[in-house]
Amino acid sequence: MKAFLVANPKGGSGKSTLATNLAGYFASRRHDVMLGDIDRQQSAREWLAIRPFELPTIDTWEIGPDDIARPPKGTSHVVLDTPAGLHGKMLDKVLKLSSRVIVPVQPSLFDMLATRHFLEALLSEKAVRKGKADVAVIGMRVDARTRAAGELERFFATFELPVLTYLRDTQVYVQASGAGMTIFDLPRSRAERDLEQWQAIIDWAEAGDGKGD
């Protein structure tokens, strides 16, 4: 089983957008994918409730901030969405379920400051230090033409971590999520640019056998 943890302590960093679309990709490949949500707002679970039944299936299981249960047997891929303020014992619990960690970061000073402390704590976690969980970062809602984009790139350069891609700020994600969909459920002509940006994420997610297999 491959298990992906999407985490950042900063609220509004794009975690749910990233988690739902990653689950949507695995579902589009006909994997047995489950999307877990330990955020008290339960955004991912509510999104699943409006997902059209005719689309590729994404399941969930009972999970909460005090009960980080393992997904059912037979699951091939797991994507775990997490709450703001993730740290300490909770971070340790979810890392034990995960083989790969994706940290989304927006190009703002406050996001970068919050993420710096989180990445330092994450990299000091036993599971990461011992190579049981790979970590990568992604720029979210980035306009490459702005100064903020350059500052985010310089921020990423201070860490020895793979920068998978920079996802643009677009209403395509908003419109898809509002219909219980992902960019992988849309006609390619409507999301072609976004699918191209996702290719690096897909390559990283599919690489190797995965430590959780």
* CATH topology classification for 2-206: Rossmann fold (3.40.50)
Edge to edge, the sheet with strand 33-37 lists 33-37, 77-81, 2-6, 100-105, 134-139, 163-166
Pairing of strands 77-81, 33-37: parallel
Other CB atoms closer than 10 Å to residue 195's CB: what's the count? 16
pTM: 0.91
β-bridge mates for residue 71, sequence order: none
In the block, tokens 């999104």 appear at: 47
CA–CA gap between residue 103 and residue 118 (Å, rounded)? 9
Of 61, 67, 68, 64, give the one whose Cα is nearest residue 23: 61
DSSP for 22-80? HHHHHHHTT--EEEEE-STT-HHHHHHHTS-TTSPP-B----BTTB-PPPPTT--EEEE
DSSP for 170-199? -HHHHHHHHTT--GGGS-HHHHHHHHHHHH
pLDDT band at 200 (very low <50, low <70, confident <90, very high): very high
State residue 87's pLDDT score.
75
CA–CA gap between residue 58 and residue 68 (Å, rounded)? 19
pLDDT digits (tens, 9 = 90+) for 97-132: 888 999 999 999 999 999 999 999 999 988 898 888
Of 134, 115, 112, give the one whose Cα is nearest residue 125: 134
The domain spans of the chain are: 2-206
pLDDT band at 144 (very low <50, low <70, confident <90, very high): confident
pLDDT digits (tens, 9 = 90+) for 165-195: 999 999 999 999 999 999 999 999 999 999 9
List the Cα angle 30/104/89 in 5-degree steps. 95
